[in-house]
Structures are given as C-alpha cells and as structure tokens.
Amino acid sequence: MIWWRKQKPAHYREEQQVAPSNGIIWLLGALLLVLIPHLLRQPGWVVTICLIILGWRLLSELNRWSLPHTVFRLTLAAALLSGTYLQYHTLNGLDAGTTLLTLMLCLKLLELRTLRDATITILLGYFLVLSGFLYDQSILSGLYLLAVVVLLTAALLVLNHPDDNREMQRSRYLKSASTLLLQALPLMLILFILVPRIPGPLWALPNSSSAGKTGLSDEMSIGDISHLADSDKVAFRVTFSGEIPAAEQLYWRGPVLWQTDGRRWSALNKNDLLNSLAAPEVAPLSEPIEYTVTLQPHHRRWLFALDLITEQPDNSVLRREFLLLSEQSVNEVYRYTTRSALNYRNDQLLMQEYERAIQLPSHRNPQTRALAQQWRQQAASDRGRVSLALDYFRQQPFYYSRTPPRLESDDPIDQFLFEAKKGFCEHYAAAFVTLMRAAGIPARVVTGYQGGEYNELGDYLLVRQSDAHAWAEVWLQGEGWVRVDPTRAIAPDRIEAFEDQYRFSETRNDALFNPDTRWMARAWLQTLRSWDAANHQWNQWVVGFNQKKQQQLFERLGMGELNISTLVGLMTLIILGFLALLSLYLLYQRQRVQDPLQQAYQTLCHQLAKCGVDNAPWIGPKQRCQQAMFKLPKQRQEIKSLFNHYIQLRYTTQQKPGEPRAFIQAVRRFRC
C-alpha cells in the first residue's frame, strides 16, 4: 500500500561501477560454454587465441593483474582482423562472420572492467548463442544452448547482486535464472506459433564450408578416393502412405552422370539441350505409391524420389533424366510429397541422349574395350551382353571394399577390372557403364541412395548419408532404360566390411547379430530409433514449422486461413492479453499473503463472509471472532477455538503451541 521510491545513487550507475569479481568468473565460465561449439568449427589458431585470452582473463581476475594497455589491445584487434581476412579472404559470410564475432568477444574480455562492459559482453554472448543455430538446429544443440542461456542469465544475475554472499548462493542464481527463462516460455511459444512465416528461408544462407558435405556429388572420379566417407548423418526420412516396398526396390534417384573422360564422371553441362527438355511420359506398370520425404538441408537443389517418379511435387523441376530438383537449394529442412511407380517402362531415347549415353574417350582403357568387343561377338542380344558382364563380376575374384587401393594409372577402369578387383559401388558402376558403352549399349551412371532403415516408433524410413550409392542404367531395345546394380553381382562372401553385409542382406536385423547378444543389440537399436523418431518430430514441428505447417495448425484449430495482417493482429492481441493477465496476477499476488497461516486465515474469513460476517480487512481477529460467534451461535465453540488458535500462532511470540498445519487443516474442515 505504501510505496517508497528509491533513487539509484550516482556511484551505483553501471558505467562507473566496477564489475564484481565473482560475477566476472561466472561470466568467463558461461562464455567458455558459449564458445565451445563455435570453437569446434574454427581453425586452430582461433581456438588457441580464444582459450589463451579466457585463461589469462581468469588468472588476471584471481590475481588482480591490471588489464593490457589500449595500444596493445588495438594492435591485437587489427592483427586478428587481418588473420580472419587471410583465413577466409573475406570478412563477410557465415564462417568469417562467426570467427570475427568469436575473436572480438574474446578481445572484449581484455578491456572488461566495469559492470557496463560485462553487461555488453553477456548480450554479445546471447547473440553468439543465437548464431550457433545457423550451423546446427538439432535437439541436442538446442538443449545445450538452452543450458548455456541459463548460465549466461545466471552470470547477469550475479553481476547485478554485488553485495550478496557468494559461495552459498550458486544454486540460487541458477534457480532464479531458470525461473526467469521459464517465465519467458509462454511468450516464446506465442511468438513461435504466431510470427508470420515467410515462404522460403528468411535470408539466403551464405555458402558455408559445411555445405556439400553429403554422400553425393554431381561428379565422381574413379580411383581418387581410397576411402569412402562413412557418415551416419541423416539424409532424409520418408513416410509412406501404404506399405513400405522391399529394400531391394528402394533406389532413391539422385544426379545422373553421363560424361566421362575415362576417369572422371560428371553430370550433363548446365546448359545442355537435354536439361531444357521436359521428362517423357512414362507408362507405370504397377500402382504408384505415395510417400512424403523430409529432407535434411544439403545446400544443393536435388530432391530424391524412388524410381520412377510419376507425380511431380510443387515448386520442383523434373529433368528428362528424371532428376528431381527444387527451385532453390535446400538450406533448411524441406518436405515434399510425391508418387512413384516401382515398375515402369521408360523407353524413349532421343538421338541426343543416345550420343551422350554411348560416349567414351577413344584412347583410354583399351583392355576394357577389348573385353567388351569380345562380348559383343559372343552374345546376340544386348540383354545377353549385360548378363555376360554381370557373370564376369560374379565369377572373377571381385571384392567389395570400402578402402580400395588407389588407381593411379591413366586407364583406371582397366586397372580396376584386371588388377585391383577391389572397390565400392562407384567403381562397379563406372566399370559396368564403360563396358556397356564399349559394347555399344547406351548406359549411364545413376547416383543416389539405396535402401534405408525402418523406424517402427515413428513409422518412417530413415536414409543416412552412408546409404549413398551408385548404380547403372542401360537402354535395351523393347525394354527402355533398365536399372542394373553391378555391386549386387559380387559374391556375398567377398564383401570385406562387416557393415556391408548389413547393406546387402535382405533380412537385415536378424542376420546382423548373433543370438546371444541379439536382445542387447535390439535394445540399443530401439534406443537409437526412439532418438531418431524424436529428431523426426523435432524436424517436423520445430525446425520445419513453416508457413504451410502454420496454416495447417490454424486450420486444424478451426480458424481457417489467416493472412499476415490477421496473424500480426492476433499475435499482438494475445501478447497484450498475456501481459495484462500477468500484471493482474502480480497485483493479486502482492495483495495476497504468502504466509500459509495468513492464507488459511483469509480462507476462514472468506468462509465466514459467506455467512454474513463482515470481511472488512481492518477488523482484528478478536473482534471478528465475536462477530462470527454472534452470527453463528451454533458454532460458537468451534469458531472460538479456531480464532484462539490463530491468535496464538500469529500474535504471541512465545514457543508456538502446535504447528500452523493443525490450524490450516482445521480451517479446511470448517464449514458454516
């Protein structure tokens, strides 16, 4: 009721006040955690400098060393600026920007003295936390950064409570910081759901070094890679409307490689005539199946579909070679629904296609071409020549290896087919297509993903980067383009790596583990799958919460289509309403007594008020007791003992006779 307005004394103003030592130590701890995920992505020298500065600042705080001179700081800043420029050849862009921000944040520590500096540093810390999401939007990184935000907020609290006793209250600061964040949660949810989403990304993400780190590329080079990148990262997840097809039918089509110089295989040139032609009409031979793909950002335009796509999703382009492309590069989680026929007949072959599908450098890989010529005479039909080639792979001692020897000669296919005889899908696909072309059969290499792992919990198929694959397509008279996977022709006992047995076995999980440890492995697998299912939901509803999802949500809530101005209006209204409710609640809280004893007493007064006893706040307990006894003569005794108990508890200072709990319970029982 009575308000005392306190004026901050001049010496307490932030600009002049020196930041308390314990606050700075908190700040350094929080900053270290902010920096860790960034440092993992930074070049070594940045990491070293940051850690040195953090460590030095900690020591200087503990030992009360003075901060470095302005000239030194300016020189260091200039040096780090040029270092960043030398590293990235720009100061713009995601990587250079983050490096610069990280370095400058560390430099700021060298002049951190006043409370104002510390506050600025913490705000920068929040900003750096935010920039972490430009790299990684997974659940784990979200949780980590949330914890970091709690710590930063706690540091802010410590800095602003300079007089408090330090050691005792560590957990109290963390607790109040968490409470603060929890209180912000409703506002965050309102903003998350209602802020109008813009179709497409808010800003074009600059091409960062992390882009293109997928299992796929639009060119391959035989023999250069001696080690296949084995990344467990998720490529995409697929939900089928109906049954999931058998694993050997799951060929997710990606870039098609036509051009070769004997070693390097690449896709058609950007302005190739064929790329401007629409996809031909294809006759589906089986009922098309429908499915929805949730694609992880890979910073390219490729969308993946099962062979062979019959219905094109919105905002996409379908090339004549049946490569599906989105209109922009996929920089965030992207979802599309499409249909494919697993059996089909794609038998159109243009002259231009024939030319490109038969092209071979004339002076390379002579042995291979000789072998193909030999088969050309042996078999009468193209079909027969394909079988001869597959038989060759099957009968000769070919091995599947993820770490094949390098093929350094000028004729790498010759070297692979006749000497090394070890390789992975790319080798087999390239060698097979070379053989076919040499035998006069139009052929091309198709890259993409094969198979996938079924997640029962989420009822979806998970395709990883390690499922990346390359296979071949040959054009046969009367049959059209036919898929041939030469890697499958290798005898199962010649597969070196254990994981690859997994890849080629039809019944995967059961063959994978021996019976003794199967239950353990299963449990582990189950855990992994639940985790992936959670990730899937996260992608669907958090990362992938776009305009479409937002509209869907409102439609489901029965609000129909909302345009942007309605959304903004609604958002403002809800936030204002929320704040109004909050302030009412706080006002109520102020009036309400926190003490449970007082709360119970007020309950009692309210009870009595219902029976006509004056509830004016100025009436004391004794007087109220008399009024109540007068009004309710039947309950005189009960009322008297209740009030006496209350008076004893509240107004005597001796040892309390009985817990307030007894009184509280008595009040709960009391009815008039």
Sheet order of strands, 289-295 included: 309-311, 334-340, 289-295, 234-240, 460-464, 453-455
Stretch that binds other proteins, among 95-103, 243-251, 271-279, 649-657 (CB under 8 A): 649-657
Distance CA 26, CA 151 (A): 8
DSSP 279: P
Tokens 């102020």 belong to residue? 590
Q: Does 584 bind other proteins (CB under 8 A)?
A: no
Contact at 8 Å (CB) between 573 and 327? no
Distance CA 306, CA 295 (A): 14
Helix axes 518-538, 139-159, angle to 10 degrees: 70
Question: Least distance to other proteins from the beta carbon of 668, Å?
Answer: 22
Contact at 8 Å (CB) between 276 and 333? no
Stretch that binds other proteins, among 111-119, 363-371, 559-567, 620-628 (CB under 8 A): 620-628
Distance CA 367, CA 469 (A): 26
Side chain identity, residue 296: Q
List 165, 271, 563, 653, residue binding other proteins (CB under 8 A):
653
Residue 303, strand partner residues = 324
Q: Does 621 bind other proteins (CB under 8 A)?
A: yes
- Comparing CB distances to other proteins, the nearer of 478 and 617 is 617
DSSP, collapsed to helix, strand or coil, labels residue 325 as: strand
Question: Least distance to other proteins from the beta carbon of 647, Å?
Answer: 7
Nearest Cα to Cα of residue 455 among 238, 215, 305, 233 = 238
List 44, 165, 616, 633, residue binding other proteins (CB under 8 A):
616
Sheet order of strands, 316-318 included: 302-303, 324-326, 316-318
Distance CA 287, CA 53 (A): 65
Contacts of 206 (CB under 8 A, 6+ apart): 92, 93, 94
- Comparing CB distances to other proteins, the nearer of 2 and 380 is 2
Stretch that binds other proteins, among 49-57, 368-376, 533-541, 612-620 (CB under 8 A): 612-620
Binding pattern to other proteins, positions 338-367, x when CB under 8 A?
Answer: ------------------------------
Question: Least distance to other proteins from the beta carbon of 163, Å?
Answer: 24
Q: Does 620 bind other proteins (CB under 8 A)?
A: yes
Residues annotated catalytic, as ranges:
425, 469, 485
List 8, 71, 618, 655, residue binding other proteins (CB under 8 A):
618
Stretch that binds other proteins, among 70-78, 284-292, 528-536, 645-653 (CB under 8 A): 645-653
Side chain identity, residue 203: W
List 63, 514, 654, 655, residue binding other proteins (CB under 8 A):
654
Q: Number of residues in contact with other proteins, rule: CB under 8 A? A: 18
Stretch that binds other proteins, among 29-37, 110-118, 522-530, 646-654 (CB under 8 A): 646-654
- Comparing CB distances to other proteins, the nearer of 292 and 615 is 615
Q: Does 651 bind other proteins (CB under 8 A)?
A: yes
- Comparing CB distances to other proteins, the nearer of 373 and 644 is 644
Stretch that binds other proteins, among 105-113, 443-451, 520-528, 652-660 (CB under 8 A): 652-660
Report the site for other proteins in 590-609 (rule: CB under 8 A): 593, 598
List 2, 40, 202, 351, residue binding other proteins (CB under 8 A):
2
Per-position DSSP letters for 570-624, written without gaps between them = HHHHHHHHHHHHHHHHHHHHHHS--SHHHHHHHHHHHHHHHTT----TT--HHHH
Q: Does 655 bind other proteins (CB under 8 A)?
A: no
Distance CA 131, CA 145 (A): 11
Distance CA 310, CA 303 (A): 14
Q: Does 617 bind other proteins (CB under 8 A)?
A: yes
Q: Does 650 bind other proteins (CB under 8 A)?
A: yes
Q: Does 652 bind other proteins (CB under 8 A)?
A: yes
Question: Least distance to other proteins from the beta carbon of 593, Å?
Answer: 7
Q: Does 622 bind other proteins (CB under 8 A)?
A: yes
Q: Which residues bind other proteins (CB under 8 A)?
A: 1-2, 593, 598, 616-623, 647, 650-654
